[in-house]
Amino acid sequence: MGSVDAADAAECCQKCSETTKCQYFTYVPTSDGRAGCWLKKAKSGVRSYSGAISGGILASTTTSTTTTTTAAPITTPIQVFIELGQSNMLGEGKIEGDTDGTLEYATHVKGLYPYLLAEDGEYAVLPHTRNVFIMGSADNSFESSTLHHNEWMSVNPTKKKTIGPELGIGFTLANYSDAPAMMLKSCIGNRALGWDLLPPGSPAFNYTDNKGKTYHYAAYHESPNRWEVGTEPKPIGWKAGIQYDGDIARAKHVLDNLATYYPGAAAGYEVAGFLWWQGDKDSRDNALAERYEYNLVNFIHSLRKDFNAPNAKFVTASLGQTVMGDTNGGGKILDAMLAVADATKYPEFEGNVAAVYTHPLSKGGSSGAHYGGNAETYMNIGEAMGAAMVGLLQGVSSVIEV
């Protein structure tokens, strides 16, 4: 919040307590005994500095009457957008810190994403868009999973110290429509579409590697993920599609208990769209990378069936490090996504499936390294995914953001 003159740490503390929104201070003595009293709204950017004295302000206690209020009934269906994937969608963008790459630095120093800030400089809150994020492994129960978010859409470091693309998506959609909406994320990291997230009904396939060995790749609910043709499989404690089962079940649990996660919801919901950011794990297995297009088509069909949402839009985003023309695993994932969004190849997806090419939006680093935790990468790609979804909702034909 800036600095003021102070003779000592006690005076610095006093000046913080007299300044609106000041919660923390740091006093750095100088040769003339004045200045060096830094006022802060939050305890972020912590570092060591010889001779510095820092502290916080105790909140005053007041007595007041507590009034319990009930949210006004929402008489229109909640528009639900379900976010799925692996660690890309999970999100590792750092929120706090005064170094380039954090969301705090991007918004407060670089002036990026101004819609995230309210007039008073605090993070803005979308009063009609709910942010719900449930994470669990395999098909374990909702109760044994972790609920990271269940609040109105805003930057909320008290819940989780990192962000995914949900802020960019949510605020972009809110700018398009003021209808009551929910961003519902259900995912976990290190999962492949061709194995952990394989959709129901997916058949097995055979693949011959560069050494001439042919492998049987698991069908839905088969185990293990592959075995050499002609040998007996040895099942493990995991099976194809077990993460799909869990992610979908956890999302359905939220929707089955809608009023718990969207206060005032009284008219049900409509699954309006799916947003998918994934592909890193598949890119590391040549067979799964080549099978990605086939699996992605089945995935879209399965989601629409499971949520009884035949008209729900679908947006997919590529891996940030992959450029057009790459022939590696990431390039095959990108080609698959672009193919699925191509209405000349998949007429059934015209106007309801879109792909986002993310390389121009990434600030560096790879998907496997979570883009170095750079929050701008997650914000930029979230905005693009949100814009692609808006395009589909407006009736624009299968768009590709480049």
Q: What is the pLDDT of residues 341-379, one digit of tens each?
A: 999 999 999 999 999 999 999 999 999 999 999 999 999
* CA trace torsion 350, 356, 360, 363 (10° rounding): 170
- CA 311 from chain centre, in angstroms, equals 23
Confidence of residue 49 (pLDDT cuts 50, 70, 90): low
Burial of 367 (0-12, 13-18, 19+ CB in 10 A): buried
- Residues ≥6 apart with Cβ < 8 Å to 88: 164, 165, 277, 278, 279, 280, 317, 319, 367
pLDDT at residue 324, rounded to an integer:
96
Task: Measure the N-to-C terminal CA separation of the chain; round to a whole number of Å.
Answer: 38
Nearest Cα neighbor of 318 from 337, 294, 299 is 337
Structural domains present in the chain: 2-56 (3.50.4.10), 78-196+240-401 (3.40.50.1110)
Whole-angstrom distance, CA of residue 215 vs CA of residue 107: 50
Q: What is the mean pLDDT of residues 212-228?
A: 98
Nearest Cα neighbor of 168 from 88, 67, 253 is 88
Confidence of residue 12 (pLDDT cuts 50, 70, 90): confident
Confidence of residue 296 (pLDDT cuts 50, 70, 90): very high
Q: Are 319 and 333 in contact (CB under 8 A)?
A: yes
**Lowest model confidence (mean pLDDT) among 7-21, 176-190, 216-230:** 7-21
pLDDT at 61 over 50: no
Q: What is the mean pLDDT of residues 109-130?
A: 95
Q: Are 243 and 197 in contact (CB under 8 A)?
A: yes
Dihedral sign for Cα atoms in the order 170, 173, 178, 184? negative
Of residues 157 and 224, more confidence is placed in 224
Residue type at 335 in one-letter notation? D
Whole-angstrom distance, CA of residue 157 vs CA of residue 123: 11
Q: What is the mean pLDDT of residues 327-345?
A: 97
Whole-angstrom distance, CA of residue 317 vs CA of residue 384: 9
**Lowest model confidence (mean pLDDT) among 24-28, 58-62, 132-136, 260-264:** 58-62
Nearest Cα neighbor of 329 from 372, 299, 284 is 284
Residues present in the chain in total: 402
Q: For the chain, what is the mean pLDDT? A: 90
Q: What is the DSSP string of 70-126?
A: -PPPB-S-EEEEEEEESHHHH--EE-S-SSBTBHHHHHHTS---GGGB-TTSSBP--
pLDDT at residue 68, rounded to an integer:
40
Instruction: Take residue 101 and report the two structure tokens written for it.
Output: 């790459």
Instruction: Take residue 234 and report the two structure tokens written for it.
Output: 């040895």
Neighbours of 97 (CB within 10 A): 17
Q: Are 170 and 82 in contact (CB under 8 A)?
A: no
Instruction: Take residue 7 and report the two structure tokens written for it.
Output: 């003779």
Of residues 65 and 35, more confidence is placed in 35
pLDDT at residue 63, rounded to an integer:
36
- Partners of residue 313 on adjacent β-strands: 273
